[in-house]
Amino acid sequence: MQPLTYWDHLRILAGTWGVLWVLFGLAAALAGAGILAGEARKPRERRSSERAAGGLLLIAGGLLWSYLQTLVPTRYAANPLRGLSAAEVSARAMPIYLEHCAACHGEKGRGDGPLAEFVTPRPADFGTHGWHHREGEHYWWITRGIPGTAMPSFASFLTEEERWLLARYVKQLGREARLP
Ligand code: HEC
């Protein structure tokens, strides 16, 4: 699979409202730069090192924030299958899931498939982990895999629609796992 460049990430991100979070970070950085510039214009004896430090912190924090938003560029992408009911998702996703995912993640998504004990780190348990992630993030990991772990990329095995389907199914499995 082709590695994506940073610009590819930005292009993907630009199509989602995640781009607003990037702009938010940039605005904070800009505000920080404004504070610094304001301090620099003052006579030396009236400058405040606290305000300057605050400005620097805003710049660094804002830029870091924006950068982190770009790492999983589909985080805020809308699932094209969001109109499907949970029952429809289960019916369509389960056979794909059992074929490609259950060996590691387990039939119910509890991270306890037959291969689970052979991989480090262990496959994610969608009941305890994953429920707080957005479908767009699951879609990204299913598509690209997770480097440094056994989680493979499914970009060339599953269609885009199947990957979005699984992204929702993973959320549903997590929800079901947490029911008493
Ligand atoms: C060879 C074993 C293996 C297979 C097959 C596999 N996974 Fe994974 N998966 C992993 C491992 C290992 C992780 C990473 C856990 C970590 O980062 O701690 C992971 C992580 C994930 C995550 C991220 C969850 C999170 O919250 O961090 C998702 C989503 C996921 N897998 C979905 C799938 C789906 C859907 C399939 C089938 C299409 C699949 N996986 C197939 C091993 C596997």
Under 8 Å between Cβ of 174 and 126:
yes
Q: What is the pTM of this model?
A: 0.91
Q: How far is the C-alpha of 22 from the C-alpha of 77, rounded, in Å?
A: 14
Question: Looking at ligand 1, which residue's alpha carbon is closest to its atom 21?
Answer: 124
Q: What is the pLDDT of residue 100?
A: 97
With a 6 Å cutoff on the Cβ, whether 124 touches ligand 1 is yes
What are the pLDDT digits (tens) for 5-59? 999 999 999 999 999 999 999 999 999 999 999 999 999 999 999 999 999 999 9
Q: How far is the CA of 166 from the centre of ligand 1 (A)?
A: 11
What are the pLDDT digits (tens) for 49-75? 999 999 999 999 999 999 999 999 999
For residue 9, what are the CA distances in angstroms to 69, 70, 146?
10, 6, 16
Supply the CATH classification number for the domain 86-177. 1.10.760.10
pLDDT at 138 over 80: yes
Residues 6+ apart with CB under 8 A from 94: 169
Q: How far is the CA of 142 from the centre of ligand 1 (A)?
A: 7
pLDDT at 1 over 90: no
pLDDT at 107 over 90: yes
Q: What is the pLDDT of residue 129?
A: 80
Q: What is the pLDDT of residue 177?
A: 87
Q: How far is the CA of 96 from the centre of ligand 1 (A)?
A: 14
Question: Looking at ligand 1, which residue's alpha carbon is closest to its atom 1?
Answer: 150
Question: Looking at ligand 1, which residue's alpha carbon is closest to its atom 26?
Answer: 130
For residue 16, what are the CA distances in angstroms to 129, 133, 159?
24, 16, 20
